[in-house]
Structure 1
Amino acid sequence: MDSLTSINELFPSSTPLGNEKAGSVEDMGSDDFLTLMVAQLENQDPSKPMDNMQFMGQLAQFGTVSGIQELNEGFSGLSNALSGGQALQAASLVGRSVVTDSNLGSLSEVADAEGELGLVLDATVEFGGSTSGGNFFVQDLAGRLVYSSALPPSAGGQLPVRWDGRNAQGELLPPGTYRVSAEAVVDGQSTAVSVYAHQRVDSVAVDGAQGAVTLNLANGSNVALEQVKQFL
């Protein structure tokens, strides 16, 4: 009677049919493994039975592979759940404003506390330290200065600013994209400071394969969710 000393003998390393891969424990399901294990026990040499440690080693090998497969399936399900949760979170941002690194703001209609619509462009001026004042500027995309206003002294930090869409003559300018900038007076010297325009989220796009979420903004640009500095 031919005997089998291990399951690996059922999967010879040679590939007599050409390019076929030899089978391995990693390729087996639980039913295949049990069938081969029973066949191994039935065909072993009674005078030379399988060593108990060898038998346990084969069981451990299969158990490890099976456990890794189950773990991978569990992580895959967790990843899908997290991606779905991230997409729902991003969808809830539609209609809200976010702060990014861009200084391009959108002058658009916004309802006030009484529900009346008016043109508004919001931004945040970021001071690196204490200042004795400064100026806030708005330019159109052609580079023309259309509005400026004085900024109060500041001990540092962030200062929210709002432009109502009117120029120095009080004329209402058309809705659209404008560039905002600012300068602060520090020790008697004017220096440029960072200004971040607030952007309304018009829609979101989700990459199902990568799980990446992109926000499409009112000024026509888009930004990755992780690049948003602040949610308003």
Structure 2
Amino acid sequence: MVTSIDPSLLISNKSNTISTGNSSLGKDEFLKILMAQLQNQDPLNPMEDKEFIAQMAQFSTLEQTTNMSSLLEKFINTQTQSDSILKYSEMIGKQVEWKSTDDTGSGIVKSIKQSDTGIILELDNGEEISSDSITKVSMAE
């Protein structure tokens, strides 16, 4: 008796479209693949210890790299914000001239503060100006 294979099951009849979600694998996807591999392994020929340990080391490395990237990003953001206010703090006690779209003026910087829009300089006359509008800085007279 000869058994024939249904031609619709041949690989050549299948479409070549490959559907992928995200182009990069994160730690969650890696862990899912590892768990699926462990659940579907052949009980008579299980994964060797060396392979399992290597995969767990890769997972641990991936997790640590992700954590380090997140911490580095937070550190850079903190440094950027701190540097701005420290940089402008050198202007305290100095004479500044400023120009905005509808006004110009000058005064001595009394204090510096950070707002959502950027660095704000408070002058000795109580006026507050944005650091972006400063045109000249000089020694106070």
Normalised by the size of structure 2, how large is the TM-score?
A: 0.50
More strand by share: 1
Bigger Rg over Cα: 1
Normalised by the size of structure 1, how large is the TM-score?
A: 0.32
More helix by share: 2
